[in-house]
Structure 1
Amino acid sequence: MRLEVDIASKKFRNAAGEQHDVIAGVAFALDAGEVGVFVGPSGCGKSTMLRILAGLDHDFKGRVVRPAGARIGVVFQEPRLLPWRSVEENVRLVAPLIDEAKLSALFEILELNAHRKHFPGELSLGLARRVALARAFVIEPDFLILDEPLASLDDALAARLRDQIAMLVDGRSVMTLLVTHDVDDAARLGDRLFLLSPRPARVVAELPIRTPRRARGDAEIAAIKSDIMRRIDGGLTERDAS
């Protein structure tokens, strides 16, 4: 199970007919069980890249080779739940034959068992994001795409949900791509970090993290975050220097 990506360029035209460069060079490969995290400033093209990788946007130059027959789970920036369906119905919609024991176990991890019959309008943003995660994980994806899944949450809630994501990812051999502008998310969740330039996005550094997620202490997390910020602020990267 392997994802191979080489996006040479992605452009679009706005309503006024003006052309904008969104991606100028993103190339990497990811294997099963790896969590790749893309860190970049807001508006740099991260979400556009994920739409390409998910097969939702074919208008680009380059190539994306996804594993044949891979089940793809996607969590968008907005939860995108159907407001007229309950939490359980929103999740069962993508996996109607899911075993009750498996569904309950997933809901237990995400603290959703008490909210099965609630509707999206009755949920906080944190709960809605958990339902979106449940919907992505319930299909037992081979390739998981997470687009800013912790955005707009307070620090305490983001930390709890981050731990839940780590638990779900570690319990499955799933190839995962997360995009974020939060270096804490990157340092705590990633196996490999890819730093992106401002738009048009290009990969300016690739940082492997050798220590497993569960074994990373506060000192190592702080060192990883410091390295990320140093590279972002300094503008010098491994790829540039090689």
Structure 2
Amino acid sequence: MLVLLPPSETKATGGRGAPLDLAALGHPGLTAVRRTLLDALVALAADVGGSLVALGLGPKQTHEVARNAQLLSSPTMPALQRYTGVLYDALDARTLTPRARARLAVSSALFGLLRATDPVPAYRLSAGSTLPGLGGLRTLWRPVLTPTLAAVDELVVDLRSGAYAALGPAPGAVTATVLTERPDGSRTVVSHLNKSHKGRLARALVSSRAEPHDAAGVARVAARAGLRVELVGEHEVVVLTDDAGHAR
């Protein structure tokens, strides 16, 4: 089983690893697109104003442009340590076993697909960004990322957001949706709870001794971890919470 995580806009700073080496990353079939995007981001960083517009940033986020300018020289750290935020707090990757971490991968607008241990620098690029001369990222990634994911010979549990899933669909994957159920029975998506419970679900799946082969297996593991889940067809599970974020 491979659990595919979304990235985060926020990244941890620093690192102790050597500067980025594309040859050290997994999935070498993605190297050409990675190099194209790296070169484009570094070049764009020379134009701070243009970078802010292309990356959808505000005037107080020029430090993100500075990060991109140093992509090829700044220190690296493993992907699971680089990404931060609500989902990654709930995942608590530092306390996972090596076996559990090996069952995780991260989707990335810049790198396509990362193993948990792949060493990467801090950067800023989102799935919806449009870089000058390159256009939308979906056009670049889809032809190489989709076959990469299709070649995974185990169940993929896809926890990415829609924008990142569009970069390269994972054929046959089990997807998960988190919905908040109100007292009147209505259901809605709440961003904060969505991320937190996806982190909990990911942790439960990779920590389990079970090896799910379908959505029903994913639901069983989630239920044993205290999550309330429902099956929706053959390839989707829904995780339900209440307004306070508790599993219901």
TM (normalized to structure 2)?
A: 0.30
TM (normalized to structure 1)?
A: 0.31
Structure possessing the higher relative contact order (Cα contacts under 8 Å, 6 or more residues apart): 1
Higher strand share: 1
